Chains A and B, each alone.
Chain A
């Protein structure tokens, strides 16, 4: 990817971080830490990898994006706004009664979503169904699904993984936002995932690793993945929960506790 394009995408990432902090502060809630850790993943997908037309959200050949880690809704809403699905001003309605931007994405509320999510494990399973339809109909679309690492504790994730390999869904790409933290503590302490790469490989997936905050690296991984022809692909992206705002990075106390006004201003200043 050309350096000027990388710069441009990094600027969008910065904007997204501001969007996420502002909208969750306005809402008085929301999973900003989990949203901040997947910003570069979303920017690189939406602005350089996915084939879609914002003016034709039901195009049957569009690439699909499923947010299986549904609590990162603020990040998804921010990238959808920046992509032109709805005005950026609407982001301040997050979690408000009647809003299209529900706490976790709800399909019928917001055009552009592929499915509701929030109950962990269900997004990837639904994504398997969407990919299966694509194969059955011989359509060229790809299905990208973003999971959390804590989410991989759900058995349903592994049912979905097993089925994806069984049905040879080479049109399915799962990205795992591996920020190593969950609500109650580090994933390793709460319910260790063990060797996550080995697990996905054992389930029949091709596994690539990425630096989840390096757009150039993500871009080259997307290039690598195109060489893999016959398997579903898992991209394990190493990330930092709360990335972009140093005083909240990796900090368990901030999972959903809203930032104070002072903290918010501090954070926004650091993002300038």
Chain B
């Protein structure tokens, strides 16, 4: 069982990882839109001020300036809040980064409801959908600080545009920092189980694990899988899981339209249809509130996951 008291901010791991990369490679540059204190790119700014560019509150410009830097041989990491980075600058991402397959790494933070008090305009519940629909984009949702660090390193070493989603909230420490290897094609199993496969990632891992332990008490054996890489998705991994348990629930801090659940459903419907339920935000906006209260009110708590699992269990 995981220790729920052990959690940390992935954003900090991101900032630290950037500094480590920056030390080794002079071509690493970092861009932000006036939010470096929150995204933690401030760590890189303090370490390498000549390679940090604050573009101000101008997200479209942020993306294309990163493109220009990439075209000139730099390896840009670009940060702001997910809603503004992915939303406002969507077309720049699509028409410059993705069309030209530029190796620009978008590490957007404060995604999902867990942004909390700022409310609906700032809570991105659509970013996964927006990014995965773009050709050439890779879409990754790291589980925790250790995975974030490795994903950032992977991003610097590989080509093509990438979207890496981080939240504001602390994530449960799953993996051991500096002792974890990120493999985009392989989804780590966090808890073994035989009755049902729960695909989840990021912030929702904590809720999914809580649900897993609650379900054990009800004699239901739920497998928890960290589906970190939504694009390119590992079709084989998903089909294999569906074959093993025959039942799937997806859990995401995102709309149920177009995100993790949809991606998994696309695979299963075409290759291995099984009973499936999606836990996510049901096509509505978020709002201000404490994070746990938001999860409860919008259907993302472990209680909701347990309920969904019980419903799927009845279906076979």
What residues of chain A have their CB less than 8 Å away from a CB belonging to chain B? 60, 106-108, 114-116, 118-119, 121-122, 125-134, 136-137, 155-156, 159-160, 162-163, 166-167
Contact with A along B91-109 (1 / 0, CB 8 A): 1100110011100000000
The distance in angstroms between the C-alpha atoms of A81 and B51, with both chains bound, is: 37
A122-B95 in contact given A107-B100, A108-B100, A162-B58 (Cβ < 8 Å): yes
A160-B99 in contact given A114-B71, A136-B50 (Cβ < 8 Å): no
What residues of chain B have their CB less than 8 Å away from a CB belonging to chain A? 29, 50-51, 53, 55-56, 58, 60-61, 63-74, 91-92, 95-96, 99-101
Main secondary structure of the interface of A (DSSP, over half): helix
Minimum distance in angstroms from A193 CB to a CB of chain B:
19
Determine the residue in chain A with the shortest Cβ distance to B94.
A119
Identify which of A108, A125, A134 contacts B60 (C-beta below 8 A): A125
Please give me the 6 A-B residue pairs with the lowest Cβ-Cβ distance, nearest first: A129-B68, A133-B72, A125-B64, A159-B61, A129-B65, A159-B58
The distance in angstroms between the C-alpha atoms of A23 and B100, with both chains bound, is: 25
Minimum distance in angstroms from A215 CB to a CB of chain B:
29
Chain B residues within 8 Å of A129, by CB:
64-72
25 residue pairs bridging A and B, Cβ less than 8 Å apart: A108-B100, A115-B96, A115-B100, A118-B95, A119-B92, A119-B96, A122-B95, A125-B65, A125-B92, A126-B68, A126-B71, A126-B96, A127-B68, A128-B61, A129-B71, A132-B68, A133-B72, A136-B50, A156-B92, A159-B60, A160-B64, A162-B61, A163-B56, A163-B61, A167-B53
A130 adjacent to B72 (CB under 8 Å) = yes
Chain A residues within 8 Å of B100, by CB:
106-108, 115-116
B67 adjacent to A115 (CB under 8 Å) = yes
B60 adjacent to A132 (CB under 8 Å) = no
Minimum distance in angstroms from A169 CB to a CB of chain B:
11
Minimum distance in angstroms from A59 CB to a CB of chain B:
12
